[in-house]
A and B are shown apart, each in its own frame.
Chain A
């Protein structure tokens, strides 16, 4: 199946676009759009729909950290087995295999710094094949998924 990049990009950018709207904008039938969405969901191309929340504008306490892991690769399995063990923890928000001076980048979220520190010390560091960890706490999120976090944008175009 040839993938419809324009369609996927539109949805990636705004998952609230309705099948009706997408159909009109892409010159397709509503039924075809619905079928396409279902197919992409079934095939795991579309994995989910989430909302971007700027928690800094709420009173919820939380802390995010990036943990760089050096990992000894396993014979035949590379980093996959270790990665799987790590991403199964619900605290882990994102996990990437990286090129460069470390191997896995783990983004985790906790309620406090103590909680994150505990997770690293008790769960990640002792794990088999983990050679070293380096934890960096996020101080402020400026931009995520292409969206700038901060003051709301207002339409500054004047009446001219």
Chain B
């Protein structure tokens, strides 16, 4: 009998399973659950984008592309980032098209982090950063963001977390799960702390198009930040293209040339059909983004108002498609609250501690659902907390 624990890498075995996974396993195949758990758009990919993919398949253009992605796509990505966020990159050597934003995060961490290096990660945050850092034998250093700071990363907290070993700062804003955003002024404070250091920023801007009432600011557009920033984004959230698995990263050529090596050996290139569809999205998708963002915004207002009306303290999330209400006032842990809400009222929301220990007392509620669906979930939640 083989002893697999001796065969497998100790690093991989040491990685904890994702907390969100644990809760989804509980959901299992329960029927008729009113779920507000999903982290992807409910809209289908706009038809003209799908058509571009279909046409590409019909023409049989199904070969590899260049490692970094089709030049046409890289050019469109640069035009788009310049047009919407005022950051400029050279499509020739400062862009890598990746398999989702996730691969881009992995490339950035692996290219920069050496064993023992510290990577600062504000939490609550999407679950992937810490484990990816650990796989690179780095050390995740978590900063708790707080409701009273609107779940923003503060310059004070950042300064306190920096040590001589700090190599990288992850900036996951607009944030999953809190919906927090960092505006220009907030980022200016962060930039001030980083100026004069060698710390690299991994700015995960996958939700950049989903901010409500103002436009997202890319930290790379601030003075002295471009040189140290790896900007990560993708098509999943803005264009409802999750299943196409397409993202990208942009960074100075000195960084991309190294990340390129990992991408080349591990991935080769992102899916060709998805790249063709993405070109269409960038060229003709601005209206789709606006339409979907307007709808999310209406749902956001509706869900926040609904939660507050039943007495739940809900922070004004201004980005992504999640709200992160405080549910600690009901004498239960996040796990207990969500488990009982599921058992007693058939409503599923994700315990906040799945996104870091500091998420305890909170829950993530996705509003990537129809108003009707949200309304029936809220009705059941109200019965639960009043029952």
A→B interface (CB under 8 Å)? 6, 10, 14, 16-17, 21, 24-27, 155, 157, 159-160
Contacts and interface: CB of A to CB of B under 8 A. Distances in A.
B27 A159 contact: yes
B298 A14 contact: no
Contact of B302 (A14, A21, A155): A21
Contact of B42 (A14, A155, A159): A155
B305 interface: yes
B305 A24 contact: yes
A159 B298 contact: no
B42 A27 contact: no
A25 B27 contact: no
Nearest to A24: B305
Contact of A17 (B27, B305, B371): B371
Among A6, A25, A27, find the residue whose CB has the most chain B CB atoms closer than 10 A: A25
Nearest to B28: A159
10 closest residue pairs by CB, A with B: A25-B298, A159-B24, A24-B305, A157-B38, A24-B302, A25-B302, A24-B301, A25-B301, A157-B40, A21-B302
Tell me if B's interface is mostly helix, strand, loop or mixed.
helix
Tell me if A's interface is mostly helix, strand, loop or mixed.
loop
Contacts of B42: 155, 157
B301 A159 contact: no
A142 to B, nearest CB: 15
A34 B306 CA distance: 19
Taking residues whose C-beta sits less than 8 angstroms from the other chain, chain B's interface range is 10 to 19
A14 B38 contact: no
Contact of A21 (B27, B35, B375): B375
B37 interface: yes
Interface of B: 24, 27, 35, 37-40, 42, 294, 298-299, 301-302, 305-306, 371-372, 375
A21 B371 contact: yes
Given A21-B371, A21-B375, A160 B301 contact: no
Given A10-B298, A159-B24, 4 more contacts: A21-B375, A26-B298, A157-B38, A160-B40
Contacts of A6: 294
Contacts of B294: 6
A27 B371 contact: no
A154 to B, nearest CB: 12
A14 to B, nearest CB: 7
Contacts of A24: 301-302, 305-306
A141 to B, nearest CB: 20
A6 B299 CA distance: 14
22 contacts: A6-B294, A10-B298, A14-B371, A14-B372, A17-B371, A21-B375, A24-B301, A24-B305, A25-B301, A25-B302, A25-B371, A26-B298, A27-B301, A155-B38, A155-B42, A157-B38, A157-B40, A159-B24, A159-B37, A159-B38, A160-B39, A160-B40
A14 B375 CA distance: 14
A94 B69 CA distance: 51
Contacts of A159: 24, 27, 37-38
B372 to A, nearest CB: 8
Among A10, A17, A26, A157, find the residue whose CB has the most chain B CB atoms closer than 10 A: A157
A14 B27 CA distance: 30
